[in-house]
Amino acid sequence: MLKQIEGSRAVAEAVALCRPEVICAYPITPQTHIVENLGQLVKTGELTDCEFINVESEFAALSVAIGASATGARAYTATASQGLLFMAEAVYNASGLGLPIVMTIGNRAIGAPINIWNDQQDSMSMRDAGWIQLYAETNQEAVDLHIQAVRLAEELSVPVMVCVDGFILTHAYERVDLPSQEQVDAFVPAYEPRQILDPAEPVTIGAMVGPEAFTEVRYLAHYRQMQALWLIPELAEEFEQHFGRAAGGTPEPYHTEAAETLVVALGSVNGTIKDVVDQLIGEGLAIGCVSITSFRPFPARKLRETIGHARRVVVIEKSLAVGIGGIVSTDVRMALAGAGIPVFTVVAGLGGRAITQASLHSTLMKAHHDALQRLTFLDLRHDVIHREIERLETQRRSGPVAENILRELGSVADHIG
Partner 1 sequence: MFQVRIHGRGGQGVVSAAEMLSIAGFLEDRHTQAFPSFGSERMGAPVMAFCRFDDKEIRLREPVMAPDALIIQDTTLLHQVNLFEGVCDAGYVLINSTRTPSELGLDDFFASRPGIRVLTVPASQLALEHVGRPLPNAALLGGFAALTGIIRFDSVAAAIAEKFSGRIASSNVAAARAAYEIAVTATQGASAAC
Q: Which of residues 45-104 bind partner 1 (CB under 8 A)?
A: none
Q: Distance between CA 20 and CA 23 in Å, rounded?
A: 7
CA-based R_g, the chain, Å: 22
Q: In the complex with partner 1, which residue's Cβ is closer, 272 or 294?
A: 272
- Tell me the closest approach of the beta carbon of residue 166 to partner 1, in angstroms: 11
Q: Is 403 exposed, middle or buried (0-12, 13-18, 19+ CB in 10 A)?
A: exposed
- Of the residues 73, 90, 145, 168, which one makes contact with partner 1 according to CB under 8 A: 168
Q: Using the rule CB under 8 A, is 44 a contact of partner 1?
A: no
Query: How many whole angstroms separate alpha carbon 401 and alpha carbon 391?
Result: 10
Give 175 or 194: the residue with its C-beta nearer to partner 1: 175
Residue 166 CA neighbour count, 13 Å, CB half: 30
Which region among 168-176, 227-235, 339-347, 383-391 touches partner 1 (by CB under 8 A)? 168-176
Say whether residue 172 binds partner 1 (CB under 8 A): yes
Is 405 a binding residue for partner 1 by CB under 8 A? The answer is no
Q: How far is the CB of 52 from partner 1 (least distance, A)?
A: 23
Contact 368, 260 (CB under 8 A): yes
Q: How far is the CB of 189 from partner 1 (least distance, A)?
A: 32
Is 265 a residue that touches partner 1 (CB under 8 A)? no
Cα–Cα dist 343/189, whole Å: 42
In the complex, minimum distance from the CB of residue 265 to partner 1, in angstroms, rounded to a whole number: 11
Longest Cα–Cα distance of the chain, Å, equals 71
356 binds partner 1 (CB under 8 A): yes
Pick 190 or 412: Cβ nearer partner 1: 412
Question: In the bound complex, what is the minimum distance in angstroms from residue 392's beta carbon to partner 1?
Answer: 28
Q: List the interface residues with partner 1, window 131-160 (CB under 8 A).
A: 138
Using CB under 8 A, count the residues that bind partner 1: 31
Among 50-58, 146-154, 172-180, 187-195, the segment contacting partner 1 (CB under 8 A)? 172-180
Determine how many CB atoms are found less than 10 A away from the CB of residue 250: 21
Q: Which stretch binds partner 1 (CB under 8 A): 16-24, 63-71, 269-277, 315-323?
A: 269-277
Among 268, 293, 329, 376, binds partner 1 (CB under 8 A): 268
Residue 402 as a binder of partner 1 (CB under 8 A): the answer is no
CA distances from 367 to 264, 291, 312, 357, 382 (A): 13, 18, 8, 15, 20
171/309 with CB nearer partner 1: 171
- How near is the Cβ of 290 to partner 1 at its closest, in Å? 15
- Burial (CB count <10 Å: 0-12, 13-18, 19+), residue 97: middle
Closest CA to 180 of 399, 18, 24, 35: 18
Cα(52)–Cα(20) distance, rounded to whole angstroms?
10
Closest separation between CB of residue 351 and partner 1, Å?
13
- The one-letter code for the residue type at 79 is T
Binders of partner 1 in range 296-355 (CB under 8 A): 354-355
Element of type H or E holding 280:
helix 269-282
Residues 358-377 that bind partner 1 (CB under 8 A): 358
CB of 414: closest distance to partner 1 in angstroms? 6
Binding-site member from 57, 181, 215, 357 for partner 1 (CB under 8 A): 357
CB of 355 to partner 1, least distance (A): 7
H or E segment and range at residue 90: helix 88-96
Q: In what order do the strands lie in the sheet with 312-317?
A: 252-254, 287-291, 261-265, 312-317, 343-347, 375-377
Exactly one of 127, 151, 274, 296 binds partner 1 (CB under 8 A); which one? Answer: 274
Residue 175 host element (H or E): strand 173-177
Burial class of 39 by CB neighbour count within 10 A (0 to 12, 13 to 18, 19+): middle
Toward partner 1, which CB reaches closer, 3 or 309? Answer: 3
Residues of the chain by 3-state class (helix, strand, coil), percent to 5:
40, 15, 40
Q: Which of 21, 174, 379, 388 binds partner 1 (CB under 8 A)?
A: 174
Nearer to partner 1, 173 or 223 (CB): 173
Q: Choose among 258, 238, 256: nearest CA to 247.
A: 238
Q: Judging by beta carbons within 10 Å of its beta carbon (0-12, 13-18, 19+), is residue 238 exposed, middle or buried?
A: middle
Nearer to partner 1, 8 or 225 (CB): 8
Interface contacts to partner 1, rule CB under 8 A: 4, 6, 29, 116-117, 138, 167-168, 171-175, 268-272, 274-275, 354-358, 411-414, 416-417
